[in-house]
Amino acid sequence: MQLPSPPPRPSQSGDRPVLHEVDSDVRAWRGTPMVAPLVPSPSTAHACARPALRGRIVHSCARQVARACATHGAATSLPQMDTPEVVRTGIAFEGPRLRVREDELRWADGATTSYLSLDARSEVACCMVARDAASGRLVLVREYRHSAGRTMLSLPGGAMDVDGETPEDCACRELAEETGFVARPDTVHMLRESYPAPGIFNQRIAFIACTADGAGRAQGLEPGEVLQTCLLSGDEVRDILRNQPEEAVDHNLLVGLALAGVELSMSD
């Protein structure tokens, strides 16, 4: 399956921003601080900040899970893990969509370390795994992603940034805006949430599935969005993954299709 030529990239200009010095006061987003300054609190998002501890944590967890599987046949629950104490936090940089947070962590052995994290203004983003009601094909998009400098195949989706919006509402809205397809309400359902980059980023992704209608409907793209709608079968997606290594794919595409039961095996 040969995809069409990518759309033109937007022009690139301007220098990269320079990070400011860390400010010990946490400035509020949406009226309240995301983390209170100088107030200890547990954090599970930063358990891998120290390489030495990371190795011990991973191996210890693996051993405990293995013992649980051997005892019960399957791991129905995972063991609890110690997490570091956040003793100080500050903002290194803040923009309209993201900010860089620096935390000082104290570990169980008394050691302290500094950890940088990206905080998204919208802590949840949504991706829609949609099938065209007429053809049964997957409704995908091919979009230019400037951070990667690549045009890549992905799922329709975006940030949950409308007040009162649910993940399902967000996914349906993004599907309509990016592709012109409209989800059938009685088919919309949640698949799973996951964290795509928990080592550095706080945002989680909600994967939603639906059947959609799209004949004759136009896209409603925002300024700066450059994308194409692609209707592909599962076999065509698998062919692209196997035989077109030059075609970049979004990680969320692989996760969403796998959660929806689309066969993506790379083995013969």
Q: Are residues 136 and 232 in the same domain?
A: yes
Can you give the pLDDT at residue 132? 96
Q: Are residues 140 and 242 in the same domain?
A: yes
Whether 19 is covered by a domain: the verdict is no
Q: Are residues 48 and 87 in the same domain?
A: yes
Q: Are residues 200 and 82 in the same domain?
A: no
Give the domain CATH number at 185: 3.90.79.10
Q: Are residues 130 and 114 in the same domain?
A: no
Closest CA to 238 of 266, 268, 261: 266
Whether 23 is covered by a domain: the verdict is no
Quote the Cα angle for 141-142-146, to 5°. Answer: 125
Considering 120, 136, 166, which residue would you say is the last residue of a domain?
120
**What parts of the chain have a pLDDT lower than 70?**
1-2, 4-75, 215-216, 268
Q: What is the pTM of this model?
A: 0.71
Whether 170 is covered by a domain: the verdict is yes
Q: Are residues 158 and 193 in the same domain?
A: yes
Can you give the pLDDT at residue 59? 44
Can you give the pLDDT at residue 188? 98
Whether 267 is covered by a domain: the verdict is no
What is the tally of structural domains in the chain?
Answer: 2
Whether 34 is covered by a domain: the verdict is no
Whether 2 is covered by a domain: the verdict is no
What's the rounded Cα separation, in Å, for the pair 171 and 194?
15
Single-letter amino acid, residue 23: D
Q: Are residues 144 and 246 in the same domain?
A: yes
Closest CA to 122 of 167, 89, 86, 156: 167
Considering 58, 89, 120, which residue would you say is the last residue of a domain?
120
Q: Are residues 131 and 208 in the same domain?
A: yes
Q: Are residues 175 and 80 in the same domain?
A: no
Can you give the pLDDT at residue 6? 60
Q: Are residues 171 and 220 in the same domain?
A: yes
Give the domain CATH number at 94: 2.30.30
Whether 136 is covered by a domain: the verdict is yes
Per residue in 19-36, pLDDT (tens digit) is 343 444 444 443 334 433
Q: Are residues 87 and 154 in the same domain?
A: no
Can you give the pLDDT at residue 161? 87
Quote the Cα angle for 47-33-82, to 5°. Answer: 20
* Structural domain harbouring 69: 41-120
Q: Are residues 200 and 214 in the same domain?
A: yes
Can you give the pLDDT at residue 200? 94
Considering 120, 137, 161, which residue would you say is the last residue of a domain?
120
Q: Any residues with CB less than 8 A from the CB of 190 and at least 6 apart, and which?
A: 167, 168, 206, 207, 208
Burial of 169 (0-12, 13-18, 19+ CB in 10 A): middle
